[in-house]
Amino acid sequence: MVFSADSFDAEPGSAHVERAGPPVGYAGAAAVMAFAAGGTAGMTAPGVHLVGYLLGALLTAIAVALFRHKDIRGRSSPWYVPSRPIQRLVRVALAAGMVAGAWHAFWLATEIAK
């Protein structure tokens, strides 16, 4: 590690350190998609159930996978600050998205079988 004279002369709180944390955007996207998939579960149009399946089972899982990828890469930073509420939100969003996706898939399969 190389030190310069400037690094010793700086004020103690003057160095700006950008804290790294979980990618909140991907967590929010997963939660919104899971909520939207669950919100369309009571509708009867087949197109709505197809969209609900895509939102709940596929796009929510993709958003969670991207969240996990970015989060694991961010954890390598010494300034990473974990957030348990965000981690829980992602877990709940994935579970809710899968349940909603399964409901939509069941509804579509039942309609196709008629």
Q: Mean of the per-residue pLDDT values for the chain?
A: 87
In b/e form, how buried is each residue of 83-104, taking b as 16+ CB within 10 angstroms? eeebeebbeebbebbbbbbebb
**Per-residue CA distances from 47 to 23, 50, 57, 103, 109 (Å):** 32, 5, 15, 14, 13
Q: What is the pLDDT of residues 10-49, one digit of tens each?
A: 455 555 556 788 999 999 999 999 999 999 988 989 999 9
Residue 99 within any structural domain of the chain: yes
pTM of the model: 0.79
Name which of 67, 34, 68, 72 is nearest 53 in CA terms: 34
- Which residues neighbour 28 within 8 Å (Cβ) at sequence distance 6 or greater? none
Name which of 77, 4, 62 is nearest 30 in CA terms: 62
Q: How many domains does the chain have?
A: 1
Q: What is the pLDDT of residues 50-90, one digit of tens each?
A: 999 999 999 999 999 999 999 999 999 888 999 999 999 99
Residue 102 within any structural domain of the chain: yes
Print the domain residue range for 43.
23-113
Residue 5 within any structural domain of the chain: no
Residue-level pLDDT at 21: 87
Residue 35 within any structural domain of the chain: yes
